[in-house]
A and B are shown apart, each in its own frame.
Chain A
Amino acid sequence: MSTLEIDRVRKSYGSLEVLKEVSISIGTGDFLVLLGPSGCGKSTLLNMIAGLETITGGQIRIAGNVVNDLSPKDRDIAMVFQSYALYPTMTVRQNIEFGMKIRRTSTADRERAVKAAADMLQITHLLERKPSQLSGGQRQRVAMGRAIVRQPKLFLFDEPLSNLDAKLRVDMRTEIKRLHARLGTTIVYVTHDQIEAMTLATRVAVMKDGVVQHLDEPQAVYDRPANVYVARFVGAPAMNIIPGTLQVEGTTAVAVVDVMNRSPARIPGISISAEAARKYAGKKILVGIRPENFSIGNDAGRASLTVDVDVVEPTGPDTLVVFQLGGVEVTARLPPKQASAGTPAALSIDTSKIVLFDADTEARID
Chain B
Amino acid sequence: MVIPAVVLSTGVGAINGYILTKWRFAGSNFVFGMLLFGCFLPFQAVILPMAQLLGALRLSGTIPGLVLVHTVYGISFTTLFFRNYFITIPDELTKAAQIDGAGFFRIFFSVMLPTALPIIVVSCIWQFTQIWNDFLFGVSFTAGQSSPITVALNNIVNVTMGRKQYNVDMAAAMIAAIPTLIVYVVAGRYFVRGLTAGAVKG
Contacts and interface: CB of A to CB of B under 8 A. Distances in A.
Nearest to A47: B95
B101 interface: yes
Interface stretch (B10-18, B108-116, B147-155, B158-166): B108-116
Given A98-B110, A102-B102, A102-B106, A87 B90 contact: no
B115 A85 contact: no
Contact of B99 (A73, A83, A90): A73
Contacts of A146: 96, 100
A79 B102 contact: no
A282 interface: no
Contacts of B92: 81-83, 85
Interface string A49-66: 011100000000000000
B97 interface: yes
A77 B99 contact: yes
B96 A79 contact: yes
B28 interface: no
A71 B29 CA distance: 25
Interface in B79-99: 90, 92-93, 95-99
B contact residues, range: 10 to 19
A33 B101 CA distance: 25
Q: Is the interface of B mostly helix, strand, loop or mixed?
A: helix
Interface residues of A, number: 25
B97 to A, nearest CB: 7
A81 B100 contact: no
A52 B98 contact: yes
A207 B99 CA distance: 25
A40 interface: no
Nearest to A132: B202
B3 to A, nearest CB: 25
Contact of A89 (B101, B102, B115): B115
Interface string B162-179: 000000000000000000
Given A81-B92, A89-B111, 8 more contacts: A71-B98, A72-B99, A72-B101, A73-B99, A85-B93, A89-B115, A102-B100, A102-B101
Interface of A: 47, 50-52, 71-73, 77-79, 81-83, 85-90, 98-99, 102-103, 146, 150
